[in-house]
Amino acid sequence: MQLIEELKQIVGEEWVISSDEKRLYGFDGLSAVKGEPELVILPGSEDEVVKVIRLLISRRKKVIVRGSGTSLSGATVPLNGDEVVVGLSRINKVYSIEGLEIEVGPGIVNAMVTKNAPPHLFYAPDPASYQVSSIGGNISHDSGGIHVVKYGPTYNSVIRLKVILPNGEVEEFKPSPFLNPSSIFIGAEGTLGAILRARLRLFVRPKERKTVIASFNSLRDAANAIVEIFRSGVIPSALEMMDRYSIIAIEKSRYKAGLPESEALLLIELDGSQVAEEESRVKYVISNNRGEIINTKDESKYWNARKGAFPAMGTISPAYITLDCNVLRSNLAETLEKIREISKKYNVYIANVFHAGDGNLHPLISYNPEDFDSFYRAVKASDEIEKLVLNNGGVPSGEHGIGIEKVKYLEVYYDEISLDVMKRLKMTFDPEGLFNPCKMFGNCKVSSRELKVLWEWD
């Protein structure tokens, strides 16, 4: 095949995958739906990426740009079988560090940004997958993480982007006093172009940092404490919650940390110059809501347990669906209690572990991939949770993106005019629909019963 030979001339023979190994690039963190790309290309430099994508565009090939493959919304799954996956994991250089800015390739792992920064600086967005997820993927999904409540999601840390557009042109989008044009690509999930380079904002490490850990025997008490912490004037650098079912999973896994058997566990991180005063306020709120302070000399084991909650679900079931809907903090108590009811209604195990500070829920809904009825019940439970959140002023996705998982939720949340603007924007950048087809708007033929269940309401 002439195309394969031309691609090999650009990147080298070993970096063009046309054998059965390409199936490994047919799925991502959303394991429920799998496909198979026509080809997989793994360029080793920015110049090679540009040459590869321009060649594919000239042949009218559909392109899926992929980082580490950790997307939880299926944003990198090839659904039609004629897509070419261009993996950017090798484009992981640090190009420059100047003041509070660092410029990196899209394939660099999130954790490596801070490791390459000066010791007094750090990169704030830190999704749970920060040790493996790539910056390009984080930008494409506007990922958040544990510290989003104080430092904001990825959007707040992107200064400028270098992008190759679907017409093959390379553009560098720099901010002006009135507009940051890079923002149009943040959260676009690779549908408008491929990120070649990103200039990111670094933050100065706080002088002091303290974690307060509290357990509660009531979901409502824990949720009320979250609201009152903010009302007390404290803005934590992180505020995470694990419920009883996530604690059970963690304690059965290698992340076991001796967590207390309670209905809810809060991890509250404070940083800055007024930590002692804020700690006093937080502890008062906890006591006032019937919480119990956990004193420990090893806070890290609790944070490791929180970060290990997702993989720990493997002790409960072989697969799960992860939502990331956002709810107002004032609605947390009611929402969490109703999720418990939904769990019983559909007979599915649902563990809640999430960014409580900004109301970014992460219900982990278990199912058996070998049992279609189990998957069906998990999806119906997720539908009901999303409806609950949307009906109470929430949003369908806080950081995982729309991908193929939340197509129907997007159509419920946005009105017809807003959706039309998005589709026109897509058509302006990519009139032939070559970049990441079928994502976000679901404008392609349903190829599996799993996808049909995901895309259709009852």
Question: Hey, where are the domains in the chain?
Answer: 2-87, 94-204, 207-298
Model pTM?
A: 0.95
Domain 2-87 falls in which CATH fold?
3.30.43
Contacts of 27 (CB under 8 A, 6+ apart): 33, 34, 35, 69, 77
- Predicted local distance difference test score (pLDDT) of residue 297: 86
- Predicted local distance difference test score (pLDDT) of residue 137: 97
- Predicted local distance difference test score (pLDDT) of residue 178: 80
pLDDT digits (tens, 9 = 90+) for 390-434: 999 999 999 999 999 999 998 889 999 999 999 999 999 999 999
pLDDT digits (tens, 9 = 90+) for 280-297: 999 999 999 999 999 998
CB-CB contact of 353 with 403 (8 Å)? no
Domain 207-298 falls in which CATH fold?
Alpha-Beta Plaits (3.30.70)
- Predicted local distance difference test score (pLDDT) of residue 115: 98
How far, in Å, are 13, 59, 145 from residue 62 at the CA level?
A: 21, 9, 31
Give the CATH class of 94-204.
Answer: alpha beta
CA atoms in the 13 A half-sphere facing the CB of 201: 15
Count other Cβ atoms within 10 Å, centred on residue 338: 17
Is residue 197 classed exposed, middle or buried when 0-12, 13-18 and 19+ CB atoms within 10 A define those classes? buried
| Percent of the chain whose predicted confidence (pLDDT) is above 70 | 100
Q: Name the stretches of the chain with pLDDT < 70.
A: none
Same fold, 94-204 and 207-298: no
Contacts of 41 (CB under 8 A, 6+ apart): 7, 11, 15, 16, 17, 52, 84, 85, 86, 87
